[in-house]
Amino acid sequence: MKGLPPQLHLRNLARQGGALLALRLLVGWRHLGRWTLRDGLRTIPVAAGSVGMGCIGFPYHPVIEVTSKCNLSCIHCHVGSSSLGVSPPFEELARLIRGISQIPEFRMVVFTGGEPLVREDLPELARVAKGVGLPVVIATNATLIDDGTARVLRRSGVVGAAISLDAVDPGLHDRIRGKRGTFEKVMRGIEACQRAGIVVQINITAMKENADHIAEVLRWSHRRGAEIGLVYQLVPVGRGERIRDRALLVEENRRLMRTLREVQREIKTVFEPVASPQYWAYLLASGSSNLGRRLGGWTFRGCTAGWGMLYVKADGDVWPCPFVPLSAGNAFEGDIGEIWRKGEVFRLLRDRRNLKGSCGSCRWREVCGGCRGKALAYSGDLLAEDPTCFVREDYPSSL
């Protein structure tokens, strides 16, 4: 790369600083100084997607499903992964990684699955990415990570591990993940990553089973020293379609977003929601700081589908989000840069004037946009209003 490293570009730093200060002013976050000094720059390539979610990191978030095989059977898996999944050839993935590196917006890459570590050649794939200047984050259940594996991954170019943890109650976590003994293995994997110098991101998937346990996981993440985290919500796609009735609806979404705001004040770990972009509209609508609202309006962009994220399936199909199963083309058959720039589904999502219903008329449209995955799953229309939005009820002036 020429010139300054991407994490030092002034515009990128300004956006990250604005997002952090907005969080401080709108939430009352108490750890701005400590987090910035200790975790700031090292988390930038890990916490990608700031164009989409207002978070601290590179603005764009390319994700590659390096396999659909998995050693677990999580009840909510959007991939529907199993031990019988498929893994693309190494050469196809290497070519794709090189193609992604040629897209100016992309400064890192995520390897996901399935479980990416079922691929024995994962370190080699990471080295390909490292060789073309892309730091690597792996999205993993962490059950296959020990000290030796973590050290190999770190040397190969893996800078972050996004580790799934749905409860700190071992029995509940294991029931959600579909296999007994998973929790203890996850704990060992987290510790191994931290010893190896890999940034740990905690990923939680909220559903009715664990909604009352989320605050406990947030606080545990702070105590464990995790730098960042994401609170997903169950979207009924893949295996999650079988448990549609366990997804959070309007009232549960409202309670979860209030919990996230309240707990964020006291913990250092920066958590952000996925599939609930109303959080950003909620912070702005309820915030009392004019500066915080101005900064939030600049940095928050809500739903990341199509403009903050590119998601490549194991078969090469390119989706705008793991919860939006609409292909813009095939990365193994076409040019990934062309698909990113010109794919029809990406074009639709990049202009929020295309949104319908209350999402289309909402004053917070540009900082939220509603979850496109939920809109599609519940109505069959990608551009429909998000059926789990609580902001339109709590703040009628938004419409």
Instruction: Say if CB 74 and CB 59 are below 8 A apart.
Output: no
**What six digits make up the tokens of 397?**
């002036």
- 3-class state of residue 321 by DSSP: strand
Q: Domains in the chain and their CATH numbers?
A: 6-350 (3.20.20.70)
**What six digits make up the tokens of 394?**
């709590």
Q: Is the predicted pLDDT of residue 17 greater than 70, yes or no?
A: yes
| Helical (H) or strand (E) element with 329 | none
Q: Is the predicted pLDDT of residue 49 greater than 60, yes or no?
A: no
Q: Is the predicted pLDDT of residue 6 greater than 60, yes or no?
A: no
pLDDT tens for each residue of 131-169: 999 999 999 999 999 999 999 999 999 999 999 999 999
pLDDT tier for residue 80 given thresholds of 50, 70 and 90: confident
Distances in whole angstroms, Cα of residue 163 to Cα of each of 112, 125, 160: 11, 19, 9
Instruction: Say if CB 32 and CB 40 are below 8 A apart.
Output: no
State the pLDDT at residue 301: 87
The letter for the amino acid at 156 is S
Give, as one character, the DSSP assignment of residue 162: E
Residue with tokens 């998973």: 182
pLDDT tens for each residue of 181-231: 999 999 999 999 999 999 999 999 999 999 999 999 999 999 999 999 999
Mean pLDDT to the nearest integer, 175-186: 98
pLDDT tens for each residue of 341-393: 999 999 999 999 999 999 999 999 999 999 999 999 999 999 999 999 999 99
pTM: 0.94
State the pLDDT at residue 368: 94
pLDDT tens for each residue of 251-306: 999 999 999 999 999 999 999 999 999 999 999 999 999 999 999 998 888 898 98
> What are the residues whose beta carbons fall under 8 Å from the beta carbon of 227, sequence distance 6 or more?
35, 39, 42, 43, 46, 47, 199, 200, 201, 269, 270
